[in-house]
Amino acid sequence: MPSLNETSARIRAAHLLVRSTEEWDSLSEDLLRSYDLNDNDKIEMLCESFVAAWRSVVRNLLTDTLNAIDITVTPAVHLWGIATLNAAGRSCEPLLCSPEGLSALPKTTVHGRPRLLSFEEVMTGYNTCLASLLQ
């Protein structure tokens, strides 16, 4: 069975196979600009494609990798969730924005818009999620 570090590296590699770090971050920046301009049509279009891009990597490239360490993948519940990961009766959901209610991180929204995470922050969230499932 692959280790947590090996699985984290595979998750990162799968996302970088689809887009570079800069491209993932650019998607976030484009969406945030739409929020700043209050362009609801563009927000809706970009939000759907932004979230779908992240979710498709898990669905198309990572399900087997996660199944290999006894983690099942189901659709995300949270609006900004990538997927729901399940193992041994526990679940977690890597998010594309700051989670609500954590005092160490800014709120999910800033002036009515989400506080989207950078690529590196999303990867950190994946690692935290995996670690909580594999304890």
Domain ranges of the chain: 4-133
Of 5-9, 62-66, 83-87, 100-104, least confident by mean pLDDT is 100-104
Quote the Cα angle for 45-46-48, to 5°: 70
Partners of residue 60 on adjacent β-strands = none
Of 46-55, 100-109, 119-128, least confident by mean pLDDT is 100-109
Interval 51-65: pLDDT, tens? 999 999 999 999 999
| Average pLDDT score over the chain | 88
Predicted confidence (pLDDT) at residue 113 exceeds the cutoff of 80: no
How sure is the predictor about 50, in pLDDT bands with cuts at 50, 70 and 90? very high
For residue 21, the surrounding DSSP H or E stretch is helix 21-36
Cα separation, 61 vs 71, in Å, equals 14
Predicted confidence (pLDDT) at residue 14 exceeds the cutoff of 70: yes
How sure is the predictor about 4, in pLDDT bands with cuts at 50, 70 and 90? confident
Read off the pLDDT of each residue in 118-125 and give the average, rounded to a whole number: 96
pLDDT at 105: 38
Neighbours of 25 (CB within 10 A): 18
